[in-house]
Amino acid sequence: MKNLQDKVMLITGGASGLGFATAKELLKRGAKLSLVDINEEGLKEKKEELLKEFPDAEVLTVAADVSIEEDVKNYVDETMKKFQRIDGFFNNAGIEGKQAPMAEYDQKMFQKVIDINLNGVYYGMRYVLPVMKNQGAGKIVNTASVAGILGVVNQTPYVASKHAVAGMTKNAAVEYGEFGINVNGIAPGAILTPMVAGAFQQINPEDPEKAQKEFSDGNPKKRLGEPYEVGTVVAFLLSKDADYVNGQVIPIDGGQSVAY
């Protein structure tokens, strides 16, 4: 299924986790990629991995810290310089931070989570939306989280930032829909990525697998999600098949967020 043939897709946080899994899904559908990540070495390795699997793919890599506005402007400029357009934007880069009760949370870490998860997503839309408006078309998918729908113990800045991403997604959809732009969000639950593995390590340093099992037992599917299961949803939202889906924040969590 080549429903994204020659479409230019921009992904932040592209060197690992959901970003990398989505990159593979988009390449399967014929897209051209601009991959952005703070980890320059990781980007090089992942580009090589992608080109082994998709030898004819066009993949640009740009190292950037999404919490720095000039870096964001640069990755948009570099993408435009190479491809002259941006058809889809997976605005995905984020961190969890540390786990601690609200009144004990380290203030520097709090600010770092907000700077990356909230400001980084805002800067991304700030510079990509004008490109798409000028084109008269485009699709954006922001990564929120189930933590953007519900409270999560010991993760105050993460929850605050992801709720804000969900809100910005709705606002952008309302403001830019008339210009042929769709803005949606995803709300993944616990997906088997390095970030989630690190969270279970924090919860139970002695036995993170036990923490993972306890969490999985509370899920209607009795398991964690796989990164590709997020990638396929993002690929749909970035395709023409989702032309009338706008302003939605879609949980990808096995049904956990709807269980009482």
Q: Which residue out of 75, 105, 127, 158 is catalytically annotated?
A: 158
> d(Cα 125, Cα 142) in Å, to the nearest integer?
9
Quote the tokens at residue 125.
Answer: 């839309």
3-state secondary structure of 155: coil
260 carries an active-site annotation? no
Of residues 93, 27, 17, the one with CA closest to residue 54:
27
Contacts with 67 (C-beta within 8 Å, 6 or more apart), sequence order: 112, 115, 116, 119, 120, 123
State the virtual CA torsion across 226, 64, 179, 170 in degrees, nearest 10.
50
Q: Would you call 245 exposed, middle or buried from its count of C-beta atoms within 10 A (0-12, 13-18, 19+)?
A: middle
Q: What is the DSSP letter of 226?
A: P
Q: Would you call 182 exposed, middle or buried from its count of C-beta atoms within 10 A (0-12, 13-18, 19+)?
A: buried
Quote the tokens at residue 25.
Answer: 């899904």
One DSSP character per residue, 109-144 reads HHHHHHIIIIIHHHHHHHHHHHHHHHHT-EEEEEE-
> d(Cα 64, Cα 172) in Å, to the nearest integer?
23
Could you give the residue numbers annotated as active site?
158
